[in-house]
Amino acid sequence: MARLRLGVLISGRGSNLQSLIDHFCMADAPAEICVVISNNPGAAGLARAAASGLPTLTIDHRRFGSRAEFDAAVNAALLDAGVELVCLAGFMRLLTTEFVQAWRNRMINIHPSLLPSFKGLHTHARAIEAGVRFAGCTVHYVRPEMDEGPILVQAAVPVLADDDEDSLAARVLVAEHRCYPAAIRMIAQGRVRIEGERAVIAGSGEMPPATQFNPA
C-alpha cells in the first residue's frame, strides 16, 4: 500500500516534527515525510529534518508583500513535493482562507489545549489562571477560523497545584508527541471520515499509556 505523503510546516524548534520523524521513518510506516518547510530561516527544526535526511525548504514570509503571495509559494512547494496531507507543527503563521480551503480535510494542526477551550496563544498560563483541573492537547483538521475544525485526537493531563506555565507545558508536550503520530496513522490507514464538522474514527488502535487519550 502506498504511504501517505506528508508535508510538515514549522516555525521553531521542531519538537513535534521530531516525534513525526521518529514514528514515520521506518519503511513499513503508513506515512512518510516528503518535505519540511519553515517560514523562519533560523528554525531549529530544519536542522532536525536535515539530520534525518529529509528535504527541507525555507520560505521566509518577510520576503513577500502579502500573506496571499507567501501562501501561494508554500502551496506551490507542497504540490511540487507531491504532498497529500499538510501537518502544521508549531507553524506560527495565519494562513489565508484560500489556502485553507484548497487543503480542506487535507491539513491538520496540533494545539496545546483541549479545544474548544483556550484557543490562540498562552494556553497553559490561561488554563492555570482559569483554575481548570485538566489541560491537554488537540489534533484537528484546519478551518479558516483560528483553532477550529473537526477534532481527531485529544489527550488530557492533570493541572497540578504547584504548576507554572513551563511545568504544565512540559507535561502537555509529552501528550502531543503521542497524539500527533496517532492521528496521522489513523488518517493514513483510512480510518477517518468527515461528517459535517465531526471527524468519525473507524475501529480502534493502540492507545498510549499514562494519559487520558481519546478516541479509545
Active site residues per annotation: 111
Q: CB count, 10 Å around CB of 147?
A: 18
Q: CB count, 10 Å around CB of 189?
A: 15
Rounded to whole angstroms, the Cα distance separating 149 from 73 reads: 24
- For 118, the grid coordinates are 483556550
- Measured over the CA atoms of residue 167, residue 17, residue 142 and residue 57, the dihedral's sign is positive
Rounded to whole angstroms, the Cα distance separating 24 from 184 reads: 10
Contact 112, 176 (CB under 8 A): yes
Contact 167, 149 (CB under 8 A): no
Residue with the three cell numbers 513551563: 166
Q: Which amino acid is at 187?
A: I
